[in-house]
Amino acid sequence: MNNSLSGTARLIGAGLRALLVLTAVCGVLYPLAVTGAAQALFPGRANGSEIRSDGEVVGSALIGQRYDLPKRNPADPEEAARPDLRWFQPRPSNGLGTNSVNTQYALILSGATNRSGDNEELIRWVTDAKQAVIDDNTAGGWTPEPSDVPPDAVTSSGSGLDPHISPRYAELQVRRVAEKNGLTVGQVGKLVADHTEGRTLGFIGEPCVNVLRLNIALRELTDG
């Protein structure tokens, strides 16, 4: 009996020592080492790829955000967001329309719409979104054709949080942004060209435009 209790005590003691050692190594030392290495080698990425403007953090290079007008009724949670057409607009976030599960790039709701291509609700959302893009970007006597509207203007990314749009969607918005800000099409078009990012390593992915960086440059141009 005593031998059994003694053996059990030794096993419990060994288990507790292993737990303490593994907790210290895996729960303290390893995270500290990884965090320290990340801060030393990639401080920008380790801190969330922050984007600053006038010395203040205004967003992340990895997370999209909307550019909307203030609500007419701030107390109404059901009021649909209205885009502020002075700014370049991002792609829809995780769905489309007011029935989307994530219309504000909320991080907790990252994910796709999970609707198939022949889903009637998705088709209606895309159709309505395409018409809204055409209406919003009619400017200077020019009205976009439905064929001018690229897919990323009316569909969300897989995460619903993509901060980029295609150069084609950015160019579609140039006339409207120029008109709303009292700028020339050439000035705004140059901003888009200057902020178009090429493929990673020259062959991975597609060219894209970070909307936040583009709008920061637009504000600097209008303020200047």
d(CA 206, CA 203): 8
pLDDT of residue 97: 42
Across 61-211, where does the E strand assignment appear?
164-165, 196-197, 208-210
What pLDDT shows up at residue 107?
66
pTM over 0.85: no
- The SS3 of residue 32 is helix
Instruction: Return the pLDDT at 153.
Output: 94
CB atoms within 10 A of CB 75: 6
pLDDT at 160: 81
Q: Quick one: pLDDT at residue 217?
A: 96
Cα–Cα distance for residue pair 119/179, rounded to 1 Å: 37
- 31 to 20, 41, 46, 193: CA distances (angstroms): 16, 15, 13, 41
Q: Are the CB atoms for 118 and 180 separated by under 8 Å? A: no
Which residues in the chain land under pLDDT 70? 1-3, 94-109, 111-112
Which DSSP symbol is given to 117?
Answer: T
Q: Using alpha carbons only, how large is the chain's radius of gyration in Å?
A: 25
Q: Which residue's entry shows tokens 């031998």? A: 3
> Contact 166/152 with Cβ under 8 angstroms?
yes
